[in-house]
Amino acid sequence: MSRKALFFDVDGTLLSEKTRRVPESAVQALRQTREKGNLVFINSGRTFCLLQEIRRLVPADGFLCGCGTCVILDGETVYHRRIPAQRARQIKAAIPEYGFDGVLEAMEGIYFRKERPWIRPLAQLKDRLAEEGAVSPLTWEDGGYAIDKFCVYADADSRRQEFFDFLQPDFQVIDRGGDFYECVPAGCSKATAIEWTLKRCGIPKEDAYVFGDSSNDLPMFEYAENTVLMGSHDAVLEPYATFVTRTVEEDGIAYACQQLGLL
């Protein structure tokens, strides 16, 4: 049998958003499919610095990070797209100007404003990441760092359309629901990262399998021919799913790999 390439989203796919853990069944499934000769890649909206626990737990051949802004294969960074410094400064000023708050993300760290976020979900996110030791001591008010992508949260006073117009044409805005928006440089996506990786590894598109659950997985579901949708998922992915598995908590990864002959 030909070697397969498996691409896994993290949150809601490998990692339970209820327990904040990767099921042992998923870890074993990834280990077994690699023993069979297949390649395993993490394909996440998270930047590399936010994958420390996943890297410790999950056996993988590479990490496709930040919605395609960074590709790391066998420990080597083979692709990395940065937001130009001047544009990054404009973005930092525009986010609060248009009534948003957010987090700036890079391979090396994630950066919040110095003052506490006034939008509750963002404040909760900052607290959780701080507990995990993932928040950089540098803030928006500091300089000396580059960013790859960013996320913003809105409230009733946010001027959404004006801000989204400001981001054109060099950013794609992904509506994640709940007034949460992921902003990625145009031309980068989970699909572009897969395409690049397949060419690098010499694996045909028909031998790629993608696993996901949320709206930022849409590009890879549109791109791939073998698409595994988690039991709990965003409905936008349903038209592109070739296999619907169980939820994370119901050992959905292991079940799908078994049913699809990947173990």
Fold of 85-185: 3.30.1240
CATH number of the 5-80+188-259 domain: 3.40.50.1000
Q: Is the dihedral of CA 46, 50, 51, 57 positive or negative?
A: negative
What are the pLDDT tens digits along the chain (263 aa)?
Answer: 689 999 999 999 999 989 989 999 999 999 999 999 999 999 999 999 999 989 999 989 999 999 999 999 988 999 999 999 999 999 999 999 999 999 999 999 999 999 999 999 999 999 999 988 889 999 999 988 999 999 999 999 999 999 999 999 999 999 988 899 999 999 999 999 999 999 999 999 999 999 999 988 999 999 999 999 999 999 999 999 999 999 999 999 999 999 999 99
- Tell me the pTM: 0.92
Whose CA is closest to 220, among 21, 17, 5?
5
Domain boundaries, the chain: 5-80+188-259, 85-185
Burial of 161 (0-12, 13-18, 19+ CB in 10 A): exposed
